[in-house]
Amino acid sequence: MQRILAAIIGICWLVAAVPANSAELQVLSAGAMEPGLEVAAQAFRRASGQAVVLRYATAPGLQRALAEGEPPHLLIGPHSLMEALAQAGRVTGRPTPLGRVGVGIAVRPGLSIQPVLDAEGLRALVTQAQSLVYNRAPTGLYVDRLFSRLGLSMVVAPKARRYATGAEVMAHLLQGTGQEIGFGAITEIRMVRELRYLGPLPPELQSYTTYSGALTPDAPVTAEALLRWLTGPEARSAFDATGIESVQ
């Protein structure tokens, strides 16, 4: 309890220290964090009066943003990527874990498909599907490995429809026809209310991507204040509500 109180006091002190009407704070994040980050950032805006601009990209896009043009002040991405960027001196300090996101399954509402409960259920789902839609980001790379592990590579190959981002996967499902099954970050699936969230992968098949934040060199004090805010109780509540789990 003392640690929690100390963290809250520290966050409040940093927010109070943010200059009123200071320049826009630029944040670039992996798309899987979007639903919780939008809510948490809006609360930070209200509390501090600080303007915050949020943008989203895939992991390669995060790396390009650091190499081309003006980098963001705060970068949020997969923890492994953030650690590599820290070791290369592209971001400062140790990346701060903010939450983790699992892999889920999505279908159009009209399809009569039951949630997957185990590996055999997933095999049946994949075998019966007309097409399987997933991305080339960390979520999709794991799904590919999972299919291989389950001996489904030959079944999947002619059915796979791959996209660069989770948003493109959801757009495909919305416009698609037939027995199409989508895989993606749970947060991205839950953002699209027109789709049916079939549920997460079974626990024994599940994989989580942990997302961390780090400041870029020369980031202003506002960036530090926001990063602290994102580790606090109000942000945690927003993350929990949108499927971003606490990192154990």
Residues 6+ apart with CB under 8 A from 154: none
Looking at residue 4, its pLDDT comes to 41
CA dihedral 55, 70, 88, 210 (to 10 degrees): -10
pLDDT tens readout for residues 160-209: 999 999 999 999 999 988 899 999 999 999 999 999 999 999 999 999 99
Cα–Cα dist 99/243, whole Å: 9
Q: Tokens 């991305």 label which residue?
A: 135
The CA-based angle 217-219-224, given to 5 degrees, is 120
- Cα separation, 18 vs 49, in Å, equals 8
What is the model's pTM?
A: 0.86
Q: Give which of 242, 222, 216, 201 is closest to 33, Cα–Cα.
A: 242
The pLDDT confidence band at residue 21, using thresholds 50, 70 and 90, is very low
- Kindly list the distances between the CA atom of residue 178 and the CA atoms of 21, 175, 201, 208, 213, in Å, as whole numbers in the listed order: 51, 10, 22, 29, 40
Over residues 52-106, the pLDDT tens digits come to: 999 998 888 888 888 886 789 999 999 999 999 999 999 999 999 999 999 999 9
Burial of 95 (0-12, 13-18, 19+ CB in 10 A): buried
CA–CA distance, 229 with 12 (Å, rounded to integer): 8
CB atoms within 10 A of CB 243: 23
Characterize 140-160 residue by residue with b for buried, 16 or more Cβ atoms within 10 angstroms of its Cβ, and e for exposed: bebbbebbeebebeebbeebb
pLDDT band at 22 (very low <50, low <70, confident <90, very high): low
C-alpha Rg value of the chain to the nearest Å: 19
